[in-house]
């Protein structure tokens, strides 16, 4: 059956709703087909009828990762927002059009992923054991060397003990392994994987998935189309192998690789390095030992002597080849 839309009403929704909205890198989007410029901290009112998928300010009011259906993680700025006034939602409540929009603080992928995990676990039923399957369910395992698996759609798996492994293989699932040497894998479309422990590994293989490894020497891999991989710990490695993916290594001596077509790799930490295939963009930052930014550089692999699959680090304001 075709999807129907259900109008919001005072009886079914509160006066103000906190939600998420994606923007281009200049904080613009295209409501009603026209480019609209937003600013953080400002409030806007839509003049005219409000109808989901047609008119009004559109935001994500369901699963936070549903934002990736409309914006790719790479190159998207994400803000928490508040909506009020007249509203109209799609039938699942995933996306809502609103009359009044207040743009709140900007958040990163890591926070969006954490909010997605909370969104699912808040709606989950407690279960015994280390495994569950089915829509909108979650499983946690806090024991050392434990494993948590959520294989249903919209599932979330959390393994917080040392050397634990969390896997969410359903669409829009979220997997978090926060313990020492934990591994988190979200293989469904729009999934998110976060490994925050020391030497953790996060892999998001679905389209537009987001993988974040914040622990020291962690590895984040986003292999899906337009995915984003972020390694923020010391010595971490971020790889975006899908088409138009983005890899960011912000920790000290981190490494970022864009191995997919038209991808981008950013090394913004001290002594960080980046590489990519021909046609990919590289962004390098040179810092002092105290973290002060000394130089910044951007280039395209295959131009001006920048070689494919060769790591580069910024030194004296110029990219130099490194192992």
pLDDT digits (tens, 9 = 90+) for 139-158: 444 444 456 666 555 566 66
Q: How far apart are CA 140 and CA 122, in angstroms?
A: 12
CB 46 within 8 A of CB 36: no
CB 192 within 8 A of CB 186: yes
The residue among 122, 124, 120, 110 whose CA lies nearest residue 154 is: 120
Q: Residue 297: what pLDDT?
A: 96
Looking at per-residue pLDDT, the higher value among 126 and 69 belongs to: 69
The per-residue pLDDT for range 89-138, each reduced to its tens digit, is: 986 788 999 999 999 999 977 688 778 767 766 765 555 554 444 433 44
Residue 320 has pLDDT above 60, yes or no: yes
For the ranges 67-81, 158-172, 201-215, 307-321, the lowest mean pLDDT is seen at: 158-172
What's the whole-model pTM score? 0.58
Q: How far apart are CA 117 and CA 168, in angstroms?
A: 11
The residue among 167, 262, 172 whose CA lies nearest residue 209 is: 172
Strands 156-159 and 138-141: parallel
Average confidence score pLDDT of the chain = 78
Q: Residue 71: what pLDDT?
A: 79
User: For a pLDDT cut of 90, what percent of the chain falls above it?
Assistant: 34
Q: Where residue 260 falls among pLDDT bands split at 50, 70, 90?
A: confident
Q: How far apart are CA 157 and CA 160, in angstroms?
A: 10
User: For a pLDDT cut of 70, what percent of the chain falls above it?
Assistant: 71
Q: Where residue 287 falls among pLDDT bands split at 50, 70, 90?
A: very high
Residue 179 has pLDDT above 80, yes or no: no
| Average pLDDT of span 248-272 | 88
Highest mean pLDDT: which range of 3-7, 15-19, 70-74: 15-19
Taken in order 294, 300, 306, 309, is the CA torsion positive or negative? positive
Residue 32 has pLDDT above 90, yes or no: no
Q: Residue 130: what pLDDT?
A: 46
Looking at per-residue pLDDT, the higher value among 90 and 205 belongs to: 90
């Amino acid at each position: 059956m075709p999807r129907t839309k259900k109008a919001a009403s005072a009886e079914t929704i509160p006066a103000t709703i906190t939600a998420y909205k994606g923007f281009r890198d200049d904080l613009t989007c295209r409501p009603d087909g026209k480019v609209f410029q937003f600013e953080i901290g400002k409030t806007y009112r839509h003049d005219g009828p409000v109808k989901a998928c047609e008119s009004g300010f559109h935001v994500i009011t369901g699963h936070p990762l549903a934002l990736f259906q409309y914006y790719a993680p790479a190159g998207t700025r994400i803000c928490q927002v508040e909506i009020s006034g007249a509203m109209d939602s799609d039938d699942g409540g995933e996306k809502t059009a609103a009359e009044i929009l207040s743009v709140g603080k900007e958040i990163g992928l890591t926070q969006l992923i954490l909010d997605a995990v909370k969104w699912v676990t808040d709606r989950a039923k407690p279960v015994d054991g280390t495994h569950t399957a089915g829509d909108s369910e979650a499983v946690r395992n806090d024991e050392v060397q434990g494993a948590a698996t959520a294989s249903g759609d919209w599932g979330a798996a959390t393994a917080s003990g040392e050397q634990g492994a969390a896997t969410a293989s359903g669409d829009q699932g979220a997997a978090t392994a926060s313990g020492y040497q934990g591994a988190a894998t979200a293989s469904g479309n729009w999934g998110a994987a976060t490994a925050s422990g020391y030497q953790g590994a996060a892999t998001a293989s679905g389209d537009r998935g987001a993988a974040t490894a914040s622990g020291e020497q962690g590895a984040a891999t986003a292999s899906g189309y337009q995915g984003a991989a972020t390694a923020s710990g010391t010595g971490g490695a971020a790889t975006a192998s899908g088409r138009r993916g983005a890899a960011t290594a912000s920790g000290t001596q981190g490494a970022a690789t864009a191995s997919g077509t038209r991808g981008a790799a950013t090394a913004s930490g001290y002594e960080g390095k980046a590489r990519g295939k021909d046609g990919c963009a590289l962004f390098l930052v040179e810092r002092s030992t105290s973290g002060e930014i000394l130089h910044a550089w951007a280039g395209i692999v295959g131009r001006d002597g920048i070689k494919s699959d060769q790591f580069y680090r910024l030194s004296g304001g110029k990219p130099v080849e490194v192992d």
